[in-house]
Amino acid sequence: MSCMQIHDIAKSLLQDFDNRRPGASFTHLNLELNIDQAYDLQFAIASMRKQRGEKIIGYKIGCTSAAIQRQMGITHPVFGHVWDSETYESGCKLALSLFDHLAIEGELAVTLGEDIPSSSLLLEHPEAICDIKPVIELHNKVFYATEDKRACELIANNAIHAGIVCSSIPISSDAADAVSNLKVFRNNELIGETLIDHFKSRIVRAVAELVDHLGRHGERLLKDHIVLTGSMLPLWHAGSQDIITVTVGACDRVCCLFEG
């Protein structure tokens, strides 16, 4: 696929996104993409968004669990961009009209304490990962391509990432390396729970893979970038007047109300 083709398709997909119908062009483009070309599209769209003034504040690691991979119809983790225009504070109210088939995911995010020019540096200095926070990740959970092309559609559409609701308070470093539970509630009803066991030591390798991935596309992790680390839990639908809350242990929490 030529650079011109990548540019034209990326422009069409960005228009879909702006029209709140992410990926709709897959219904008529009949694209025969491989994974590398899907990422080329994702990075081309990201370049267009940066050119119009949006800012990348980090990246996501997604589809890390067997449960999510089964839901998405893929067999490997994926990566995407996190944008300043799609970041919200805990306690916010969000209109459902901002999303297409909204689904949520409870997980942990980390902040980088320094630039990470290489994966080897991170592996030697894991303390560069700091400020671990619970987040609610927001997704446009809709697909237009046929099932055999779903993985490429997922990647081209920024891994269906549509934003995050983030706590302003990081969990303590002791809690980060302890055994705890991450829980997801919908309207005070527990809908998902997973064990967090020595999280920080395990996530370093995943972030190192992200560093290598970004390097192949001319990007890198910078100080203060946030990284969504993926979840062992599935995605859940969120509807009008739903309150979603994610907790870690007894004290750390993030919540959001959806309206419309």
Taking only the tens of pLDDT, the chain with its 260 residues reads 788 889 999 999 999 999 999 999 988 877 788 899 999 999 999 999 999 999 999 999 998 877 677 766 778 889 999 999 999 999 999 999 999 999 999 999 999 999 999 999 999 999 899 889 999 999 999 998 887 788 889 999 999 999 999 988 887 655 555 667 899 999 999 999 998 876 777 788 889 999 999 999 999 999 999 999 988 888 999 999 999 999 987 778 999 999 98
* Inside any domain, residue 5: no
Q: Is 71 exposed, middle or buried (0-12, 13-18, 19+ CB in 10 A)?
A: middle
CATH code of the domain covering residue 206: 3.90.850.10
Among candidates 43, 52, 60, which has minimal Cα distance to 18? 52
Collect all residues with Cβ–Cβ distance below 8 Å to 123 and sequence separation of at least 6.
204, 205, 208
Q: How many domains does the chain have?
A: 1
Range of the domain at 167: 55-259
Greatest CA span in the chain, whole angstroms?
53
Cα gap 125→219, rounded to integer Å: 20
* Inside any domain, residue 96: yes
* Inside any domain, residue 208: yes
* Inside any domain, residue 83: yes
Q: What was the pLDDT predicted at 155?
A: 94
Cα gap 142→89, rounded to integer Å: 25
* Inside any domain, residue 15: no
Q: Given the structure tokens 């929490």, which residue do they identify? A: 253
Determine the 3-state secondary structure of 203 from DSSP: helix
Q: Contact at 8 Å (CB) between 30 and 146?
A: no
Q: How many CA atoms lie within 13 A of 163 on its CB side?
A: 18
Q: Contact at 8 Å (CB) between 106 and 131?
A: no
* Inside any domain, residue 12: no
Q: What was the pLDDT predicted at 232?
A: 83
Q: What was the pLDDT predicted at 172?
A: 64
* Inside any domain, residue 231: yes
Q: What was the pLDDT predicted at 147?
A: 79
| Alpha carbon distance, N-terminus to C-terminus of the chain | 41
Q: What was the pLDDT predicted at 175?
A: 57
Q: What was the pLDDT predicted at 178?
A: 62
Q: In the structure encoding, which two tokens stand for residue 77, read together?
A: 């983790």
* Inside any domain, residue 138: yes
